Amino acid sequence: MMREIIIFVIAIALAPFIGGFLNGIDRKLTAFIQGRYGPPVWQPFYDVIKLLYKQKILVNDFQVFSAYIYLLTAILSIGLFAIKADLLMILFVMSVGLAFYIAGALSTKSPYSQVGAQRELMQMLAYEPMLIFFAIAVYNVTGSFNLGQIMKHGRLLFDLPLMFILLGLVLTIKLKKSPFDLSTSEHAHQELVRGILTDYSGPYLALIHIADWYEMILILAMIAILWSQNLLIGVLIALATFFVDIVIDNITARMTVKWMLAFSWSISILFTIINIAYIYFRR
Amino acid sequence: MGLKEFIEKSFKKSPWVLHYNCSSCNGCDIEILACMTPLYDMERFGMVNVGNPKHADILVVTGTVNTKNKEVLKNIYDQMPDPKVVVAVGVCAATGGVFREAYNVLGGIDKVIPVDVYVPGCPAKPEAIIDGLYKAAEILKEKYEKMGKAEEVLK
Amino acid sequence: MQSNLLLLSILFPMVAGIIVFFLRQPSVRKGFIGVSLSVIVLLSLIILGSLKVPDVFNSPTYYNGMDIAIKIGDFVLLLYVLYISFKIKEWRATFFAVLQLVPLIYFEFFMLKEEEVAVFLVDELSIIMNLIISIVGSLIALYAFGYMDHHEEEKHVSPTRQPRFFAIILVFLGAMNGVVFSNNLMWMYFFWEVTTLSSFLLIGHDQTEETIKNAARALWINMMGGFALLLGIIFIYTNYNTVSLVDVLSIKESAYILLPMFFIAFAAFTKSAQMPFQSWLLGAMVAPTPVSALLHSSTMVKAGIYILLRFSPLFRGTMLSDFIAVYGAFTFLATAFLAISQSNAKRILAYSTVSNLGLMIASIGINTSSAIAAAILLLIFHAISKALLFLCVGTIEQHIGSRDIEDMKGLINKMPITAAITFIGILTLMAAPFGMLVSKWLILEVAANQIAVSVVLAIGSALTALYYTRWIGNLLSGTYFSKRSEEHMNVNIGISLYSLTVLAIVLSFMISSLYNMLVMPQILTMKMDVALKAAKGYLYTTSGGFMIYPIFITIGLAIVLSLTSIRKAAKTAVKVSPYNAGLNYIEDKGFDVKNYYLTTFVTEETLTKYFNYISIALIVVILGGAIL
Ligand code: SF4
């Protein structure tokens, strides 16, 4: 018990630093691809610290609660992941925060944030089933949802090659990268202003950024456990996926909501079924 | 480096920019956009162009203020959280420029909101704009320090 | 003594209902109903406390009398349905009434040999149903005090039709108790038909053309279900020579049991408004809201689930069971799909009710011990939360005159209390760590090796989250500059809403003791190994576990942190209007952003058509599973 609490605390303390650092690398790399010099790798930390100490401006009280619960559930899910809890439960916890995050944006009456929130809902609709599919596929290999038992299975990657691709897709959608940067319009596009983030500001925006880092780490960790025999290799695979996502982000244009839904659903259902059939075939 | 210094440094290193086109002729706007291109790349100073006053630290205004858009300018300024800095780019924003005498023009934007940095030129050069933004970032940091003191006084 | 108690819980509401019908004085009537409701609640608590279950209860003294009364009742009821169907010219109802009459006459007079069977079969499942019926039912009836006054005022009903309304509600409560306690299948069939009839009468309560039309639809579909149930019973009797539930449940030799099981499942599908029959439940939304809450979400539609659960040991591990699982999962997905194109709150709730019932049926079809546990948990939590939400929508509708979720924008400022309760109600339906989500988690875990079911469930869950999230967003939208008004709530409405909210939260919080006290014994009663264990808010199986307390703590922490943050910000923070491209934001003027209803993807009519075809095909497949 004591050991688990220590791991929990270490994980939730470490995750934002890794997340912020990865975000910095992301920005630097993007700049490199675009032929720019780019900001320092520590830039995300400057941004977040600055936001934390800016003045609070509020539209309503609910958005404060939304920001906090989004952050706290993200923290909880990372912590639960670290102490090897139930994979499905972690996904459920994550989705609670997400629902509040979206409802908080919907509740401010700005048209931009509302449209952004609607699109985020669609994104959620696109990737949430995929994550559950992933959990189900993992169950079909390992016979358990418990991360401790899942991680005994050394090299899940060989069993779940297609699910790995799906997780990469989830990462792209989750990080709101092109071609799925629908809800916030990342980079310099501003037709939606900042979409779902429009009315979250100052310290609350900082909370959401931190929560996003946590969630990014969560997805990367899910990729990493596909090679749990040697977690270092797992981490490298996760980082490689992250890198590929950045490249995809820079070479694709944004697609529509409808395309995203059709694409992600058909791909995910198809891949899941083929992959699970493949598992049984391998036996 | 203590936390306090790090926070102050953050304000200097991460100025987010909001660009408002206040009936400019678009000459200055294009130059501002040029600042984001690989050649000038203002992001190396952490400057990001955000389209939203609620996230922004620096308000960059181009063009003159007229009777129609002064409300909008004021609104946007009010929606920015403290500390905030205003940069007037181009002579239009500074004084009204060649449009100064027009029937509907009030003059420079300092008629409506307080301006911290003036970047002259018609249009202003990207180098000058980035220089102005960099100065603005320093002012931002100073303003943050003052804000902290003001809060202590309030307590 | 104990069987008298059970008999009382059936007869008392019915008799009280009949008395209510003749009480014309409003204050006397309300007082009488109030007393009766508290007696009903008390009875259910006594039954919970004093009965040793599972057991069968015999009572030779009044068995024969009751049996004859019920036999007569059967015919009276069917003849009355015939009469109604002539009056409203609903020939399909006539058809099914005649179809029931003929075999019934044959069965009762020529086949059924008179022999005495035990009167009541009571186990934890019956107790759970009884508690839901009595407590949730009474709270809803209490709510109806406030609601019906307002309703009649609005519709200018005079003279008042409330005696009829409450009489039927009370009779219905008695009949539901009858369904869940009866051991004699013919008695169960009778009470089943009584609930159908009360549903018809209550849907048509307002006596407009539309309500009568929809009531007629509900009648004929449920009569069809009644017919299937009767067929099932007759088949059981011809093969096994018994109408006693205990005997049926202890049948070992199961070669001939699947066909009657199909008919019983079919009856359950109609009662629970599963996919091609969902139209009656949607039509039933024209009824006054307490009716939707009581009959069409928390109790009557659960009768289908009850009967399926009751017979589930008989088809465990068969192909029939697997097909039922697929069918239930399909309904879950299809109705969730249909719900996202809706903006009418009551229709959303109706679709989501059907959807959740589908989920329960899916997990009954999976038919492992954890799946059954999940179905029972879902049954409990769904009954409470959905009733609460229906009542909230009813209250909102009476205030703002609309049940469209787009019109509920900014409701938190107009009706702060109701909006907050609605918000909590939605949370208990869609968010972890509340009971619904824990049950859903359980179902996903047990369904994981049935790929078709689990894939469908995963998508359905995401869709569910979608339509509830945007509703929350609409409810809570507002700014510091919005106009605020205070809300005055009728006392009865208030009591009922508050108690349901408290019930929903507290039960979720105590899910492990609830499971250990009522659900696990039921699993043991059904002679299954208990795979799911629960202790101190931690539910676990061999393949995973769900902790609810960390999530509760997180939510609590978020509340505390945000409150302190808001308090601190009260001095320094600036209250601004939402970003509107620098223009002044004027509430309720100019533009409005509507939710995405994905109408390019989903239009209700076409989708309903295709989904109906698919579901009919699935039912045929189930039949195939039963015959083979
Ligand atoms: S300063 Fe010159 S280029 Fe800039 S807006 Fe004015 S007229 Fe145009």
Q: What is the pLDDT of residues A226-266, one digit of tens each?
A: 888 888 998 999 999 999 999 998 888 888 888 888 888 89
Do residues C124 and C380 make contact, with C-beta atoms less than 8 angstroms apart? Answer: no
* Predicted local confidence at residue A58, as pLDDT: 85
* Predicted local confidence at residue C294, as pLDDT: 87
* Predicted local confidence at residue B152, as pLDDT: 58
CA pair distance A3, C210, nearest whole angstrom: 65
Asked whether the predicted pLDDT for residue C585 surpasses 70, the reply is: no
Residues 114-153 of B with CB under 8 A from C: 151
CA pair distance A54, B93, nearest whole angstrom: 27
Asked whether the predicted pLDDT for residue A124 surpasses 70, the reply is: yes
Asked whether the predicted pLDDT for residue B153 surpasses 60, the reply is: no
- Give the pLDDT band of residue C597 (cuts 50, 70, 90): confident
| H-only helix segments in C526-582 | 549-572
Q: Is B51 on the interface with A (CB under 8 A)?
A: yes
Least CB-CB distance to B44: which of A37, A188, A194? A37
Q: Is the CB of B96 under 6 A from ligand 1?
A: no
% of chain C at pLDDT higher than 90: 15
CA pair distance C232, C243, nearest whole angstrom: 11
% of chain B at pLDDT higher than 70: 94
| Average pLDDT of the residues of chain A | 88
The answer to whether residue B1 sits within a structural domain is no
Q: Which residues contact C602 (CB under 8 A, 6 or more apart)?
A: C337, C338, C340, C341
Asked whether the predicted pLDDT for residue A278 surpasses 60, the reply is: yes
* DSSP, res C284: G
* Predicted local confidence at residue C589, as pLDDT: 63
Asked whether the predicted pLDDT for residue B128 surpasses 70, the reply is: yes
- Give the pLDDT band of residue C521 (cuts 50, 70, 90): confident
- Give the pLDDT band of residue C108 (cuts 50, 70, 90): confident
Which residues is A155 bridged to in the sheet? A227
Q: How many CB atoms lie within 10 A of CB A165?
A: 15
Lowest mean pLDDT among A36-45, A68-77, C517-526: C517-526
Q: How many CB atoms lie within 10 A of CB B122?
A: 13
Q: Which residues contact C291 (CB under 8 A, 6 or more apart)?
A: C169, C202, C203, C205, C284
Which residues is A57 bridged to in the sheet? C574
Tokens found for residue C478 = 């507002």
Taking CA atoms only, the protein residue closest to ligand 1 atom 2 is B122
Asked whether the predicted pLDDT for residue C278 surpasses 70, the reply is: yes
Mutate to test the pocket of ligand 1, among B30, B64, B92, B101 (most ligand atoms within 8 A of CB): B92
Name every chain B residue with its beta carbon within 8 A of the beta carbon of C581.
72
Phi/psi for A64 (5° steps) reads -65, -50
Q: Name the 3-class secondary structure at C56.
A: strand
Least CB-CB distance to C582: which of B76, B151, B154? B76
Tokens found for residue C396 = 């909102």
Least CB-CB distance to B54: which of C571, C579, C583? C579
* Predicted local confidence at residue B1, as pLDDT: 67
* DSSP, res A35: T
Q: What is the pLDDT of residues A184-209, one digit of tens each?
A: 776 667 777 788 888 888 889 999 99
Q: What is the pLDDT of residues A90-102, one digit of tens each?
A: 999 998 889 999 9
Tokens found for residue C615 = 């579901």
Q: Answer positive or negative: Cα dihedral of C594, C600, C606, C611.
A: negative
Least CB-CB distance to B79: which of C571, C572, C579? C579
Do residues C149 and C85 make contact, with C-beta atoms less than 8 angstroms apart? Answer: no
* Predicted local confidence at residue C388, as pLDDT: 92
If one compares C449 and A276, the residue with the highest pLDDT of the two is A276
* Contacts B–C by Cβ distance under 8 A: 24
Q: Which residue has the tokens 């303003």?
A: B143
- Give the type of residue at C92: R
| Average pLDDT of the residues of chain C | 86
The answer to whether residue B8 sits within a structural domain is no
Q: At what angle do helices C137-155 and C26-50 cross, to 10 degrees?
A: 160
* B138-150: burial string, b at 16+ Cβ within 10 Å, e else: ebbbbbbeebeee
Do residues C89 and C215 make contact, with C-beta atoms less than 8 angstroms apart? Answer: no
Q: Provide the domain count of chain B.
A: 1
* Predicted local confidence at residue A76, as pLDDT: 92
Lowest mean pLDDT among B56-65, C235-244, C355-364, C502-511: C235-244
Q: Is the CB of B108 under 6 A from ligand 1?
A: no
Q: Answer positive or negative: Cα dihedral of B28, B29, B33, B35.
A: positive
CA pair distance B93, B107, nearest whole angstrom: 8
- Give the pLDDT band of residue C148 (cuts 50, 70, 90): confident
Do residues B21 and B63 make contact, with C-beta atoms less than 8 angstroms apart? Answer: yes
* Predicted local confidence at residue C5, as pLDDT: 83
- Give the pLDDT band of residue B88 (cuts 50, 70, 90): very high
Residues of the domain holding A181: 2-282
The Cα-based distances of C331 to A12, C264, C450, C452, C625 in angstroms read 40, 18, 16, 13, 18
Between chains, do C572 and B52 touch, taking CB under 8 Å as contact? no
Burial of C605 (0-12, 13-18, 19+ CB in 10 A): exposed
Name every chain B residue with its beta carbon within 8 A of the beta carbon of A33.
none
Summarize the confidence of residues C429-448 as an average pLDDT: 87
Lowest mean pLDDT among A101-110, A176-185, C124-133, C173-182: A176-185
Do residues C457 and C439 make contact, with C-beta atoms less than 8 angstroms apart? Answer: no
Do residues C163 and C22 make contact, with C-beta atoms less than 8 angstroms apart? Answer: yes
Q: Is B127 on the interface with A (CB under 8 A)?
A: no
Chains that touch A (3 or more CB pairs under 8 A): B, C
Residues 190-249 of A with CB under 8 A from C: 193, 198-199, 203
Alpha-carbon distance B80 to nearest alpha carbon in chain C (angstroms):
9
Asked whether the predicted pLDDT for residue B138 surpasses 70, the reply is: yes
| Average pLDDT of the residues of chain B | 87
Asked whether the predicted pLDDT for residue C610 surpasses 90, the reply is: no
% of chain C at pLDDT higher than 70: 98
Least CB-CB distance to A111: which of C573, C587, C593? C593
Asked whether the predicted pLDDT for residue B150 surpasses 70, the reply is: no
Name every chain A residue with its beta carbon within 8 A of the beta carbon of C429.
none
* Predicted local confidence at residue C1, as pLDDT: 67
CA pair distance C279, C301, nearest whole angstrom: 13
* DSSP, res C195: H
* DSSP, res C25: -
* Predicted local confidence at residue C425, as pLDDT: 92
Do residues B119 and B92 make contact, with C-beta atoms less than 8 angstroms apart? Answer: no
Tokens found for residue B95 = 């004084």
The answer to whether residue B35 sits within a structural domain is yes
Q: Is the CB of B63 under 6 A from ligand 1?
A: yes
Do residues C447 and C461 make contact, with C-beta atoms less than 8 angstroms apart? Answer: no
- Give the pLDDT band of residue C588 (cuts 50, 70, 90): low
Do residues C344 and C301 make contact, with C-beta atoms less than 8 angstroms apart? Answer: no
CA pair distance C200, C218, nearest whole angstrom: 6
Asked whether the predicted pLDDT for residue C513 surpasses 70, the reply is: yes
CA pair distance A72, C134, nearest whole angstrom: 39
Q: What is the pLDDT of residues C172-219, one digit of tens each?
A: 999 999 898 888 888 888 999 899 999 988 888 888 888 888 888 888
Length of chain B (residues): 155
* Predicted local confidence at residue A214, as pLDDT: 93
Q: Is C158 on the interface with B (CB under 8 A)?
A: no
Mutate to test the pocket of ligand 1, among B60, B91, B109, B129 (most ligand atoms within 8 A of CB): B91
- Nearest by Cα to C543 from B38, A139, A152: A139
Q: How many CB atoms lie within 10 A of CB B39?
A: 10
| H-only helix segments in C183-257 | 185-203, 209-240, 245-249
Taking CA atoms only, the protein residue closest to ligand 1 atom 6 is B92
Residues of the domain holding B21: 14-154
* Predicted local confidence at residue A236, as pLDDT: 92
Q: Is the CB of B62 under 6 A from ligand 1?
A: yes
Tokens found for residue B149 = 């003191």
CA pair distance C424, C389, nearest whole angstrom: 9
Do residues C470 and A106 make contact, with C-beta atoms less than 8 angstroms apart? Answer: yes
Q: Which residues contact C27 (CB under 8 A, 6 or more apart)?
A: none
Asked whether the predicted pLDDT for residue B118 surpasses 90, the reply is: yes
Name every chain B residue with its beta carbon within 8 A of the beta carbon of C575.
none
CA pair distance C122, C181, nearest whole angstrom: 6
Q: Is C583 on the interface with B (CB under 8 A)?
A: yes
CATH of the domain at B110: 3.40.50.12280
| H-only helix segments in chain B | 3-13, 27-36, 70-79, 90-95, 126-154
Q: Is A160 on the interface with C (CB under 8 A)?
A: no
ipTM above 0.90, yes or no: yes
- C-alpha B66 to ligand 1 mean position (Å): 14
Tokens found for residue A178 = 């092109």
Do residues B81 and A202 make contact, with C-beta atoms less than 8 angstroms apart? Answer: yes
Q: What is the pLDDT of residues C23-81, one digit of tens each?
A: 888 888 888 888 999 999 998 898 888 877 777 877 767 777 788 888 888 888 888 88
- Give the type of residue at C88: I
* Contacts A–B by Cβ distance under 8 A: 85
The Cα-based distances of C507 to B8, C202, C443, C497 in angstroms read 50, 30, 19, 15
Q: Which residues contact C299 (CB under 8 A, 6 or more apart)?
A: C132, C133, C136, C137, C176, C383
Which residues is B60 bridged to in the sheet? B19, B87
- Nearest by Cα to B24 from B101, B103, B91: B91
